[in-house]
Amino acid sequence: MAGIRRLRNVKIVATLGPSSSDYDTIRALFEAGADVFRLNMSHGTHEEQAARHAIIRKVEQDVGRPIAILADLQGPKLRVGTFRNGEEELTEGQKFRFDLDPAEGDATRVCLPHPEIFAALKPGATLLVNDGKIRLKVEACGPDFADCVVTTGGVISNRKGVNVPDVVLPLAALSDKDRADLEFACELGVDWLALSFVQRPEDVAEARELARGRAAILSKIEKPAAVKAFDQILAVSDGIMVARGDLGVELPVHSVPPIQKQLVRKARSAAKPVIVATQMLESMIDSPMPTRAEVSDVATAIYEGADAVMLSAESAAGKYPIEAVTTMDSVARSVEADPIYREEIEASRHIRRETVADGIVAAAREIAEATDIHAICCFTQSGTTASLVARERPAVPIIALTPVVATLRRLCLTWGVHCVRSPEVERFKMAVVQAARAAREYEFATEKDQIVVTAGVPFNVTGTTNILRVAPCDERLIFRTDPE
């Protein structure tokens, strides 16, 4: 198993849950193709998540390959109160009030225990209840009430969720629960933190301050305000998740596909990994086979150049978690074998090159694609060099080598990167030797082949990518041609 490698570039994120909490299942998910495991902090206790984390690390040790762990924070949840009868039917044109009165609701009103919402509302704003199934328009509002008219009716019941798409709410992205979960996850040793309810770059800055470098920060784009402020949010994030579920609730559903395409392209241009998530193989919660539409949806994200595609309930609570990962892996390999895939990837390569590192990785890709090169090997301390190479989406494999385990694990989310732990090196010749050994060990190349090696000198210093070499995979030739 030490030589295992993926036969695709896009990565697969699998959420763990009741259907996937034991060693055998988690290992089977990895072997089927999962590169990153997601711990959903909205469900399960800290003890349950700690047990899953320990199993993942045991699988990682047993298979000899780095595995990334992503902890997904719940974010503040906006919900109505309770009803005297448990539920009420709202009809189009009906008047209905939300207020701060904790008394049980009826057919005319219900408590909405979130004064922050009333502080931000204005007449004409829209309130959505139960994932947008019920829509109401605000006619009048104050600091403790909102009088609305129902525009789309339905059954409203106890503690259903509320969305407010038209305004930026004066709410922090991190609730008290999220702060506790963040500290727990960082102490546990997760690699990525997914931040829910992001509306502004300041939300990301708060999470980064609390994380103190112990985990990378991935911003979930699920609110219209986040779409509007995306460039600023991207600039302060380490990665992005296109969370299409809530986006499809708060925005017209037909607007989500172009938004997805725009966000994926911008994240790629910034050399930051981007996950496309939500309902990708939803039918596989109960069926061993996906629908054709779901397969097309996964394929579209891959054609767009996303770094990763994600399974949620399919692998966490579904009946066929391993089949769902296997399906994603098969779709990815089929898409990436399509000549049109390379055409799409190359046509969407619009990158500003402003630094020496930008020039080095661009040259590495061009050399690799113009000659008989079998892999691009990059020595990296923080992961930046490998991320820049991945941004180029080369047609040959990328091997990232570093002695920093945390860097290897975080790079498991990045397109096309095969992560290999290497000893620390102080001379470039030894870096080339290590690269050649890795290329041979993982069967990217033979002794007769050549590779491109990029690195920064001096070694073990972040952000110094400044050297490129075409090298043989035969160590005897390396020593013969480079006596240093």
Query: Which residues are marked as active site?
Result: 38, 79, 220, 278
Instruction: Give the tokens for residue 33.
Output: 């193709």
d(CA 141, CA 97) in angstroms, rounded, equals 9
Helix, strand, or coil here: 183? helix
- Residues contacting 120, CB < 8 A, separation 6+: 164, 167, 168, 169, 170
- Rounded to the nearest 10 degrees, how much is the dihedral formed by the CA atoms of 422, 186, 216, 190? 50
Q: Rounded to the nearest 5 degrees, what angle is found at the Cα of 39, between the Cα atoms of 228 and 14? A: 85
What is the per-residue DSSP string for 218-230? Answer: EEEE-SHHHHHTH
Instruction: Say if CB 301 and CB 11 are below 8 A apart.
Output: no
Torsion, CA 331, CA 332, CA 337, CA 342, rounded to 10 = 130
Look at the chain and count its residues.
484
Contact 71, 215 (CB under 8 A): yes
Q: How many C-beta neighbours within 10 Å does residue 440 have?
A: 18
What whole-number distance in Å separates Cα of residue 103 and Cα of residue 105? 6
The secondary structure of 22-72 as a DSSP string is SHHHHHHHHHHT--EEEEETTSS-HHHHHHHHHHHHHHHHHHTS--EEEEE
DSSP labels for 417-475? Answer: EEEEE----SSHHHHHHHHHHHHHHTTS--TT-EEEEEEESSTT-TT-EEEEEEEES-H
> Residues with Cβ < 8 Å from 6, sequence gap 6 or more?
33, 35, 418
Structure tokens of 452? 């491109």
Q: How far apart are the C-alpha atoms of 56 and 262, rounded to whole Å? A: 33
Amino acid at 193: L
Q: Are 315 and 15 a contacting pair, CB within 8 Å?
A: yes
Measured CA to CA, the distance from residue 43 to residue 37 in angstroms comes to 15
**Residue 418 near residue 380, CB atoms below 8 Å:** no
Q: Nearest-5° angle of CA 27, CA 32, CA 33? A: 100
